Amino acid sequence: MQGQGLVGTAAVAPRLSSAARRRQLREKVIAGIITAMAFTGIAALVLILVFVAKEALGLFLDAEARHEASPSKMFLPQVVRAGKPPAFVWQPVSSVPKVSMIPLFIGTLKTTLVSMLVAVPVGVAAALFVAEFASRRLRELLKPTIEMLAGIPSVVLGFVALMVFASFMQDTFGLGSRLNALVAGLGLSLAIVPVIFTVAEDALTAVPRSYREASLALGATPWETAWKVVLPAAAPGILAACVLGFGRAIGETMIVLMASGNAAIVSASLSDSVRTLSATIAAEMGEVVVGSPHYSLLFFIGVELFVFTFLLNMLANTWTRRVLKRLSGAGA
Amino acid sequence: MKLSWRRGVGGALTSLTGLAALLIVALLAVIFLDVVRGGIGTVSWRFLTEPPSDGMMGGGIFPALYGTAALTLLMTLAVMPVGVLTAVYLHEYAPPGSLLARAVRVAVVNLAGVPSIVFGLFGVGFFIHFVGGSLDRLLGYQELHWAQPGILWASLTLAVLTLPVVIVSTEEALRAVPLEHRTASLALGATQSQTLMRVVLPGALPGILTGAVLAVSRGAGEVAPILFTGAAYFLPDLPHALNSQFMHLGYHSYVLATQSPDVEATRPLLYATVLVLLALTFALNLVAVLIRARTRRRAAAAH
């Protein structure tokens, strides 16, 4: 069957006993089942987008929703009251629903910005310390301790922001509203510091020893080596860590829900209360009428969050892979 | 530059970065101490075994404990087979450079980055309205039976959320099983699935358990995905069916923290609830660390 050259052996090999054939079939079935299971992860990601987008679709298909929450009403300033200048207002449950997403974008941006300003320097510096300066014993103690922060449920971090940070800020600075963008941002930074630390530390330790040895051999001090050789070599990985942290901060819900004050105010001040995209879903989804324009609107916010974080993740993923590839290629 | 100056800058940089590390550890200590100090006086056997009373101004947290346990148990049952088999595909079955394997890896990385509140929306849209609604129509229920928030839908939502955790840690566990074990088994005439069942999976078991524990600790603390898929504000009855709503430690903490009519009166209860939740997640993480350390030691001894 196989070809003339194989006549001698081919006559024996394909004639398997029925038990062996059954075994072969069983192996194929098992491999098939396992391969099919591998699709679950992909399916989950696709289903998430499809089903969140499907519920948001009402916004564009339903006539009532199209009128109530048109893209111009979501993104352009609207005349809210006659005689007043146009403004951005989020009041989806008032008698005349006002659905501007701009206050939510601003709120999300403010809390995210505060958290990044705190978490990036602290997280990257701590990663640099653990990767470059700490003794082996200290490193083995510090790393799991800092990563423990990642294991704390976000509702507990929200609780800490609400009970500890808010009171501390109130007592120290006497801000106008007790719960504001600053307090929520500080709470958020607790959640993203471990993310930034872990990814940055991985990138730093991926820098080959030969780089350090070469630098030290040329007479550089350890800090010069760390600052001018190791850090630049790991830069894309550290950037990836920051992007990943940014994505987490945008999507994090419980902390901002508990500590931001939840008022959709358009202002530049960090001491005003804010309402973020994620907290809006969490706060309003419970009382919304299924299928109403407001319901579709909340799912639309979900689509936005999904798309933002997806893009940031892809970016971070590409950068991380690039730095690992470059370093492992160069270090070999 | 003078060497002494260079040393000085170096010292400053080292202490500055060290300070950052110290700051994180200090914050961790502050959180821990604050929660323990505020809650330890209220946690008692009665607190753990009684339902809330007096409009949540008194009593305990038993329904929330029970709900959290039932929720995470169902979640684990759902996520472990899928997660472990996916990892087995990636590590044992996927042909080298397989397109499917690469796609699965990208999907898993991105799944891990999807905001938890979006999982909640997904649970509502997919499990409650689509799956639940279809079930109700199929089974001919007139009133909502499956198409409503319940513990099953909340667990399945969390299972999707924890899938990346299980896949990543199982793959790591499979990687730790030496290649010689597989080749020895295959050389003795065992098939690939026999090798998998009798050699690879038993060898990877501690790592797989670590993954399960990590998934439980992650899933038990997540509140956003269960807000609309099954968690109840107040429900003294324990969940008795798969479509029952349930109380949850994290959600209960959130409710006590933000919706109490009298903040001062509920403060001890709030602190005690958060303490229990924190102790639970720390204990689970500690178990994961211990299993992992033991496996590493054994693996090191075997080589």
pLDDT, tens digit, 9 for 90 and up, residues A103-130: 999 999 999 999 999 999 999 999 999 9
- Number of residues written out for chain B: 303
Token representation of residue B197: 């069942």
Chain A residues whose beta carbon lies within 8 Å of the beta carbon of residue B228: 285-286
From the CA of B251, how many Å to the nearest CA of chain A? 8
Q: Answer whether B21 sits within 8 Å of A142, measured CB to CB.
A: yes
pLDDT of residue A97: 84
Q: B5-29 pLDDT, tens per residue?
A: 888 888 888 899 999 999 999 999 9
pLDDT tens per residue across span B244-269: 999 999 999 999 999 887 888 889 99
Q: How far apart are CA A271 and CA B275, in angstroms?
A: 30
* pLDDT at residue A329, rounded to an integer: 65
Among A167-171, B47-51, B196-200, name the most confident range.
Answer: B196-200
Whether A102 and chain B come into contact, CB under 8 Å, resolves to no
Dist. CA A3–CA A14, nearest whole Å? 13
Q: What is the model's pLDDT at position B302?
A: 65
pLDDT at A216 over 60: yes
A25 touches B at CB < 8 Å? no
- Two structure tokens written together for A148: 């423990």
Residue type, A290: V
- Contact criterion met (CB below 8 Å) for B243 and B11: no
What was the pLDDT predicted at B173? 93
Q: What is the pLDDT of residue B303?
A: 58
Cα A102 from Cα A127, distance rounded (Å) = 36
Nearest to A315 by CA among A250, A251, A245: A245
Is the CB of residue B234 less than 8 Å from the CB of residue B56? yes
Q: Which pLDDT value is given to residue A87?
A: 82
d(C-alpha A52, C-alpha A296), whole Å = 9
Instruction: Look at residue A2 in the predicted model and tell me its pLDDT.
Output: 39
Q: pLDDT (tens digit, 9 = 90+) per residue, B193-228?
A: 999 999 999 999 999 999 999 999 999 999 999 999
Helices (H), chain A: 7-10, 18-56, 58-61, 63-68, 71-75, 102-128, 136-151, 154-160, 166-173, 181-205, 209-217, 222-225, 231-233, 235-251, 254-259, 277-284, 293-331
Q: Number of CB pairs < 8 Å for A and B?
A: 266
Closest CB from B167, B193, B285 relative to A30: B193
Q: Judge: A26–B164 Cβ closer than 8 Å, yes or no.
A: no
Hey, what are B163's tokens? 């899938």
Closest-CA distance, B162 to chain A, in angstroms, reads: 11
> Amino acid identity of A224?
E
Classify strands A98-99 and B52-53 as parallel, antiparallel or unpaired. Answer: unpaired
| Whole-number Å distance between alpha carbons of A141 and A100 | 48
| pLDDT value of position A12 | 52
Point out the residue among B20, B110, B285 whose CB comes nearest to the CB of A129: B20
Q: Which of A248-257, B66-75, B293-302 comes out lowest in average pLDDT?
A: B293-302
Q: Which residue has the tokens 């510090």?
A: A142
Residue A130 to residue B21, Cβ atoms within 8 A: yes
B10 contacts A222? CB cut-off 8 A: yes
Give residue A51's Cα distance to chain centre: 20
pLDDT for residue A271: 87
**Partner-chain contact A223 B14, CB within 8 Å:** yes
Nearest alpha-carbon partner for A252 in B137, B116, B19: B116
Q: Which residue has the tokens 């323990």?
A: B36
Question: pLDDT at position B260, please?
Answer: 81
Contacts of A55 in chain B (CB under 8 A): 121, 124-125, 129
How far A307 CA sits from the closest chain B CA (Å)? 9
The residues, ordered by sequence, that sit 6+ positions from A90 with a Cβ below 8 Å of its Cβ are A98, A99, A100, A101, A103, A104, A264, A275, A280
Q: In this complex, do A145 and B28 lie within 8 Å of one another by their Cβ atoms? A: yes
Single pTM value for the model:
0.91
Shortest Cα distance from B274 to chain A (angstroms)? 7
- For chain B, give percent helix, strand, coil, nearest 5: 75, 0, 20
A21: which chain B residues are within 8 Å (Cβ-Cβ)?
Answer: none
Interchain CB distance below 8 Å, B104 and A42: yes
Is the confidence at residue B171, as pLDDT, over 50? yes
CA separation for the pair B212, B267 (Å, rounded) = 33
H or E element at residue B252: helix B249-258
Residue type, B134: S
Q: Which residues contact B189 (CB under 8 A, 6 or more apart)?
A: none
Q: Are A303 and A53 in contact (CB under 8 A)?
A: yes
Q: Please check whether residue A187 touches B, CB under 8 A.
A: no
Per-residue tokens: B105: 């890896």
At A288, list the tokens. Answer: 């919304």
Relative orientation angle of helices A18-56 and A293-331, to the nearest 10 degrees = 130
Alpha carbon distance B212, B219 (integer Å): 10
Q: How far is B139 from chain A (nearest CA, A)?
A: 22
Give me the amino acid identity at A226: A
Q: What is the pLDDT of residues A11-67, one digit of tens each?
A: 455 677 888 889 899 999 999 999 999 999 999 999 999 999 999 998 888 888 778
The pLDDT value given to residue B10: 83
Looking up tokens 């790592």 gives: B207
Indicate whether A4 pLDDT > 50.
no
Among the listed residues A246, A254, A242, A249, the one whose alpha carbon sits nearest the alpha carbon of residue A319: A242
Please state the rounded mean pLDDT for residues B284-302.
80
DSSP secondary structure of A48-81: HHHHHHHHHTHHHH-HHHHHHT-HHHHHS-B--S
> Do A71 and A328 contact (CB within 8 A), yes or no?
no
Kindly list the distances between the CA atom of residue A17 and the CA atoms of A2, A13, B158, B188, B281, in Å, as whole numbers in the listed order.
Answer: 19, 10, 47, 19, 54
B267: closest chain A residue by CA: A163
Comparing C-alpha atoms, which of A240, A242, A248 is closest to residue A157?
A: A248
Residue A42 has its nearest CB partner, among B85, B103, B285, at B103
Give the model's pLDDT for residue A331.
46
Question: Which residue in B18, B90, B227 is closest to A129 by CB distance?
Answer: B18
Average pLDDT of chain A is 88
Identify from A34, A54, A278, A301 which residue to disrupt to test chain B contact, counting B C-beta atoms within 10 A and taking the largest count: A34
Residue A6 has pLDDT above 90, yes or no: no
- Contact call for A281 and B117, based on CB within 8 A: yes
Do B225 and B157 contact (CB within 8 A), yes or no?
Answer: yes
Which of A67, A104, A61, A91 lies closest to A291, judged by CA?
A: A61
Which residue of chain B is at minimal alpha-carbon distance from A283? Answer: B227
Task: Give A165's contacts (C-beta < 8 A, 6+ positions apart).
Answer: A183, A186, A187, A259
Name the DSSP class of A12. Answer: T
Identify the residue whose tokens are 């922001």. A161
Contacts of A53 (CB under 8 A, 6+ apart): A299, A303
Enumerate the residues of chain A whose CB falls inside 8 A of the CB of residue B164.
41
Task: Mutation target for A interface from B1, B13, B201: give the one with most A CBs within 10 A.
Answer: B13
The predicted pLDDT at position B77 comes to 96
Q: Which helix (H) or strand (E) holds A99?
A: strand A98-99
Q: In chain B, what are the domains?
A: 63-271 (1.10.3720.10)
Radius of gyration over every alpha carbon of chain B, rounded to an integer in angstroms: 24
- Would you list the DSSP string of B271-283? HHHHHHHHHHHHH
Determine the pLDDT at residue B160: 97
